[in-house]
Amino acid sequence: MTLDRYRGALVGLAVGDCLGRPYEGQRTVPDSAIDDLLARGFVLPYSDDTAMALALSESILECGGFSGEDMALRFAREWQAEPHRGYGASITSVFESVLTGARWEEAARRQFGGEGSHGNGGAMRVAPVALWAYPDLGETIRLAKETARVTHTHPAGVDGAVMQAVSVHHALNDEFDPSFLIPHFQGVVETDVFRDKLAVLGRCLDRSDDEYAALHLGNWVAAANSVPAALYAFLSGDDYESVIRRAIRLGGDTDTIAAMAGAIAGARWGFDAIPEEWLRIEGLERLIGLADALYDRRSSQTEPVRCSSCAMPAVLVVTVAYEQETRGGRLLAYCLDCRERLAERIRLAIPIEFVNDETFISLYENGYTRSDPETACELVFGEVRRHLIEAVWPYFHQAGS
Ligand SMILES: [Mg+2]
């Protein structure tokens, strides 16, 4: 996975948002819309779609994953600082509740007489989730649901976020054949309204008639009326530019449909495929910085840990060296050769036990580092990855303190 694709997904989202924003709410949009806009020569401001995608990215990066409380507060503060970004009327009541101390789980659920919102707000901002969780599709779906429910608790609002996040995931994977995607999505979504729309999407792609698609897929703020339209624009396009032009031509909620289509197209064709003259948008540096941070985080998670002595990857050993006074452990990573040399030098006689990731983590969760040194053993792995070290790291700090 290349950094270019990560930048493409985030910047692609924002460019779609910025180019679609001036046409939001129009039933029909002229073919010349984008060129007319660019001819005016100013830096294009983004709307709530990008504002919330930025806040969501910062929240998962800062928290090391999903925290509903942190995310709800970041959304609310972003709105409070810049309320002019075009937020929906209902969502601002969620922000107000959160800022006055309401529990975030309750604030969102109270909307629309307790039904929760089925708007596209969960979907429009969700692309960073796919970047964060890549290449884990199960984690992408789980996180998409969690982040959607911070503001959109209706099952269709959640389905929209799942479908958009999974679309970005598949675009990163170069999987965009409708004969694979549509049946796959049918198994992923949980509401009838989305299942029905997926059947319509197949027909729209066969006809390739944009007016027909806008009419039958919908082009408005309900998730089921806009997420399928964005996927239609993506699957009908040959490159980033044609996807965005089509997404905006569909009319209606143009900024959000183009933002979602833009995130998927950016994940497929990358940042370099976005026309240079379209990059005159507000927040470009912040977006690139966050895409880079998401990329660094993801690749460091799946990278093999290197031997702390010879820096070779390949087979690695995690050594637990017991300290008599604290009964703590020390986490060291070695390849088998270096471990053997070290053991000889310090006359280490602790036996080695081969375990898998799951056993490793559960041992530490059950207080392994505090156990009796007499019965302790070293744990040996093929390919220790960084996320494994991170998972058990807190136990070592506890043990040592
Ligand atoms: Mg917007």
The rounded Å distance from CA 199 to ligand 1 centre is: 27
How far apart CA 80 and CA 228 sit, in angstroms, is 31
The rounded Å distance from CA 184 to ligand 1 centre is: 28
The rounded Å distance from CA 238 to ligand 1 centre is: 25
The rounded Å distance from CA 23 to ligand 1 centre is: 11
Confidence (pLDDT) at 299: 62
Closest CA to 168 of 204, 193, 133: 133
Confidence band (pLDDT; 50, 70, 90) for 155? Answer: very high
Q: Long-range contact list for 349-354, CB < 8 A, 24+ apart?
A: 350/320, 350/322, 350/376, 350/377, 350/378, 351/377, 351/378, 352/317, 352/377, 352/378, 352/379, 352/380, 353/377, 353/378, 353/379, 353/380, 354/379, 354/380, 354/381
Distances (CA, A) of 46 to 13, 43, 50, 157: 10, 10, 6, 22
The rounded Å distance from CA 49 to ligand 1 centre is: 5
The rounded Å distance from CA 17 to ligand 1 centre is: 7
The rounded Å distance from CA 90 to ligand 1 centre is: 14
The rounded Å distance from CA 124 to ligand 1 centre is: 8
The order of strands in the sheet holding 378-381 is 331-334, 316-320, 378-381, 352-354
The rounded Å distance from CA 342 to ligand 1 centre is: 59
Is residue 401 pLDDT above 70, yes or no?
Answer: no
Give CA torsion, residues 372, 374, 380, 384, to 10 deg. 30
Query: Burial letters for 294-326: b for 16+ Cβ neighbours within 10 Å, e otherwise?
Result: bbeebeebeebbbbbeeeeeebbbbbbbbeeee
Confidence (pLDDT) at 400: 32
Mean pLDDT of 286-310: 79
Is residue 158 pLDDT above 90, yes or no?
Answer: yes
pLDDT tens readout for residues 317-371: 454 444 444 444 445 566 767 767 766 766 655 555 555 666 666 665 665 544 4
Burial class (CB in 10 A: 0-12, 13-18, 19+), 183: exposed
The rounded Å distance from CA 261 to ligand 1 centre is: 14
The rounded Å distance from CA 254 to ligand 1 centre is: 8
Q: What percent of the chain has pLDDT over 90?
A: 62
Confidence band (pLDDT; 50, 70, 90) for 315? Answer: very low
Contact 57, 290 (CB under 8 A): yes
Tell me which of 324 and 309 has the higher pLDDT.
309
Confidence (pLDDT) at 397: 40
The rounded Å distance from CA 41 to ligand 1 centre is: 21
Is residue 375 pLDDT above 50, yes or no?
Answer: no
Contact 238, 221 (CB under 8 A): no
Q: Other CB atoms closer than 10 Å to residue 347's CB: what's the count?
A: 6
Least confident interval from 133-137, 169-173, 350-354: 350-354
pLDDT tens readout for residues 202-227: 999 999 999 999 999 999 999 999 99
The rounded Å distance from CA 33 to ligand 1 centre is: 17
The rounded Å distance from CA 117 to ligand 1 centre is: 16
Confidence (pLDDT) at 316: 44
How far apart CA 59 and CA 80 sit, in angstroms, is 17
Q: Which residues contact residue 40 at a Cβ distance below 8 angstroms, ignoring those fewer than 6 apart?
A: none
The rounded Å distance from CA 267 to ligand 1 centre is: 20
Mean pLDDT of 12-17: 98
The rounded Å distance from CA 141 to ligand 1 centre is: 23
The rounded Å distance from CA 319 to ligand 1 centre is: 52
How far apart CA 276 and CA 287 sit, in angstroms, is 16
* β-pairing verdict for 352-354 and 378-381: parallel
Confidence band (pLDDT; 50, 70, 90) for 395? Answer: low
Angle among Cα 194, 74, 79 to the nearest 5 degrees reads 80
State the chain's mean pLDDT as an integer: 85
The rounded Å distance from CA 98 to ligand 1 centre is: 21
Place of tokens 């269709």: 156
Tell me which of 301 and 66 has the higher pLDDT.
66
Contact 125, 49 (CB under 8 A): yes
Confidence (pLDDT) at 287: 97
The rounded Å distance from CA 194 to ligand 1 centre is: 22
The rounded Å distance from CA 87 to ligand 1 centre is: 7
The rounded Å distance from CA 356 to ligand 1 centre is: 46
